[in-house]
Amino acid sequence: MPTSHQQTSRSEPQAAGNGHGDTSWFVRDRFGLFIHWGLYALPARHEWVKHREELSDADYQRYFEHFNPDLYDPRAWARTAARAGMKYCVVTTKHHDGFCLWDSQHTDYKATRTPCGRDLIAPLVEAFREEGLRIGFYYSLIDWHHPDFPVDRFHPQRNDTAFRQAAAGRDVGRYAEYLRAQVRELLTRYGKIDLLFFDFSYPGDDGKGRADWQSEKLVEMIRGLHPDILINDRLDFPESADYRTPEQYVPNEGVKDEAGRAVVWEACHTFSGSWGYHRDEASWKSVPLLVRMLVEHTAKGGNLLLNVGPTGRGTLDQRAVERLRGLGAWMQLHNRSIYGCTAAPAEWVPPADCRYTFNPETRRLYVHCAAWPFRFLHLPALAGKIAYAQLLNDASELKFHETAAALHAALKAGAPRDALTLELPVLQPDPVLPVIELFLK
């Protein structure tokens, strides 16, 4: 995948991770939808509620007994995602509470046994594929319901001495078998799966990691079934990871491996503070912030996986829908500055308040202006390099001047030598985030 242009880009040639999956679509598509859905949609106060409130299986059972998403319409979800410009989805087939959204033959703790009474994954996969999105499965390594899962520092019953004593003989090897059997099911029932997101390892004291999950064996099985599939980096088995997954964080400079080489990465973010549906959470990010985050990730050579937590009725949270609409409106006019784009060559340093994204194939450079400058924008090191310039939203030409020679003295004084100077309209062309498209010679 690395082209000669990418050799010079800030992120260097993106090492295709350490794994063997096909990252070519992933680094092109850039933008995906994360879906956290399960029993925790009912308490509606964070997907870790069982851990936080130290709920027993009996306490938590009421959500199982009342899980009935009567308005579930995965086609509507898929349409909403596609219109927002998203190109893939990653859905929680099972979260830490152990509840399975699909009809697994290895457990009764699944959607088909609740009042819902059906496999929720099959129609979702079909709906998203129909909208042209690729399919990723999130699978929780942690399982707070399985009888073979040894109690550890995150377990809801971690402080329940009697429970811990009774559970002392739990055999994590048996759990690892269950885990493999479930993943095999997920990879053999629903056609081609593009990506697996395992979550998560916490090796060391009272934790779990590679040896517990039997990560080598698991990966070997996965690669045997789907040689091209992408596997994330949370198996405590870095040799197998196709991409890195920073969480709720925008890396400063892209992500590097131990040898300092840029790697493929995707950061996942919530709209607000919770992954699962949270009724009372109020720190919802604004559309302009979300658009800037998407640009920021692309400008650093990474992907953005943005999360929705659907409700217990099976609907998308209206607050998420509004934001996805806003993202879609911006993407409709500006997605050329995202898809196929990555970090620009390091020697081109963007001016204040701007970010560059660069498409090495079309050789177009995109200038994203977080604060609209007054009339002139100087782009250092770009004199002599640009054939044509336009606003991306309406393809209207922008005049430009090279080496500041054509400008009057006052402007010349402020313009860096070797800068390309763009002449901008006074009015900001897009209310959210204006983008200038530069065609390189």
Binding site for ligand GLC (CB under 6 A): 36, 47-48, 199-200, 247, 268, 275
> What is the residue whose two structure tokens read 């956290």?
36
Instruction: Record the tokens describing residue 362, joined without a space.
Output: 């079309």
CB 250, min distance to ligand GLC, A? 15
Tell whether omega for the bond before 200 is within 30 degrees of 0, i.e. cis.
yes
CB 142, min distance to ligand GLC, A? 8
First to last CA, the chain: 23
Integer Cα distance of 235 and 141 in angstroms: 8
CB 48, min distance to ligand GLC, A? 6
Integer Cα distance of 201 and 211 in angstroms: 10
CB-based burial, 1-34: b 16+ in 10 Å, e otherwise: eeeeebeebbbbebbbbbbbbbbeebbbbbbbbb
Geometric angle at alpha carbon 28, from 22 and 229, rounded to 5°? 20
Nearest residue (CB) to ligand GLC, 31 versus 275 = 275
Please classify residue 132 by burial: count the beta carbons closer than 10 Å to its beta carbon, then call 0-12 exposed, 13-18 middle and 19+ buried.
exposed
Nearest residue (CB) to ligand GLC, 47 versus 119 = 47
CB 374, min distance to ligand GLC, A? 41
Nearest residue (CB) to ligand GLC, 36 versus 378 = 36
Nearest residue (CB) to ligand GLC, 9 versus 274 = 274
Handedness of CA 7, 11, 17, 20 (dihedral sign): negative
Instruction: Record the tokens describing residue 84, joined without a space.
Output: 């927002």
Amino acid letter at 43? P
CB 43, min distance to ligand GLC, A? 14
Nearest residue (CB) to ligand GLC, 54 versus 347 = 54
CB 127, min distance to ligand GLC, A? 22
Nearest residue (CB) to ligand GLC, 144 versus 366 = 144
CB 321, min distance to ligand GLC, A? 21
Integer Cα distance of 403 and 417 in angstroms: 6
Integer Cα distance of 229 and 196 in angstroms: 7
Beta-strand runs (E) in 256-295: 265-270
Nearest residue (CB) to ligand GLC, 126 versus 247 = 247
CB 197, min distance to ligand GLC, A? 7
- The residue count of the chain comes to 441
Nearest residue (CB) to ligand GLC, 6 versus 245 = 245
Gyration radius from the chain CA atoms: 24
